[in-house]
Amino acid sequence: MINRTFSIITLFVLFAATSLTAQEESPKDMNAQIIKGKGFISYPSYSGSPFLNTKFLKGEIEFLDGTKVKNIGLRYSSYRDEIIYFNDYLSAQIVVDKISLKAFSLNDINGTKRIFRRQNYDGFLTGERYFEVLSDGRISLLAYRKVDLETCDPSYSKLGLAYKQSYSYYIFAPDKGYAILKLNRNSLLSKFDKPNQKLVRKVLRKNGVMITDEASFVLAWNLIKENEIPVNF
């Protein structure tokens, strides 16, 4: 009788320990089941970087049905336009199936949340792309963070090839499509009628904004949006 009681207690303890282990591992198993993709194959080593972020950063992915997986390690390949996540359970890098995603976000080293949306691009080289949302709204300001593998001076890279940024910028509205922009004042002004160009100049001058790079362009765009100056688009 004593032996039987001891055996029952031992089995109960083992069952409880097994259940606890399964509960601890279930989040990892769940991610592996929810996130579909293929194993990442390393790119050839050339000068420059094929990635937006070399190290994995904490982020979130959102599927087409609205399901979200949060607090996972993500790395965006600008070269292949792919999002890669680190599966802790498998200790492996997985390229997430693009067609399954609606969006993803990364928290950069400064703590800034950077949001990317998957959208169909109907211009040159049509297809599904990940666009970073620089400013959202009825008309959004987007960036396509492309990196190309290009030939270069052998003094820069012994193999004569290097990864080089080839970013492009757009304004986008669902009912209008895309219009490409360059990061300069003239390109921005070209999206407004003559009378509104004067308003844009006035707003920029009042706020001391000179467009010299991406950050100042985004600032200018947001000021224009705040002042509700109509875009000719």
Q: Inform me whether the pLDDT recorded for 169 exceeds 70.
A: yes
Give yes or no: residues 29 and 46 share one domain: no
For residues 84 and 158, state if they share a domain. Answer: yes
Domain check: are 45 and 135 in the same one?
A: yes
Which of 181, 198, 223 is where one domain is finished? 181
Name the residue among 203, 233, 232 with its Cα closest to residue 220: 203
**Domain shared by 88 and 201, yes or no:** no
- Please list the residues that pair with 148 across neighbouring strands: 164
pLDDT digits (tens, 9 = 90+) for 26-50: 444 567 678 989 999 999 999 999 9
Residue-number span of the structural domain to which 231 is assigned? 184-233
Among the residue ranges 1-10, 92-101, 121-130, 167-176, the one predicted with the least confidence is 1-10
Mean pLDDT (whole number) for 94-121: 96
- 67 versus 22: the higher-pLDDT residue is 67
With a CB cutoff of 8 Å and minimum separation 6, the contacts of 181 are: 141, 169, 170, 171, 187, 188, 191
Number of domains making up the chain: 3
Domain match, 44 and 113 both: yes
79's tokens: 């070269």
The reported pLDDT for the residue numbered 125 is: 84
154 and 42 within one domain: yes
Residue 208 makes CB contacts below 8 A (sequence gap 6+) with: none
The pTM of this model reads 0.84
Indicate the pLDDT class of residue 89, thresholds 50, 70 and 90: confident
Q: Are residues 69 and 109 in the same domain?
A: yes
Q: Are 119 and 204 within one domain?
A: no
Over residues 213-233, mean pLDDT: 96
pLDDT tens-digit readout, 10-28: 433 333 333 333 333 444 4
For β-strands 177-181 and 127-135, DSSP reports them as unpaired
Q: What is the β-pairing status of strands 37-39 and 57-63?
A: unpaired
Same domain, 64 and 145: yes
Q: How far apart are CA 85 and CA 59, in angstroms?
A: 9
State mean pLDDT over 82-103. Answer: 95
Q: Which two tokens stand for residue 42?
A: 């390393």
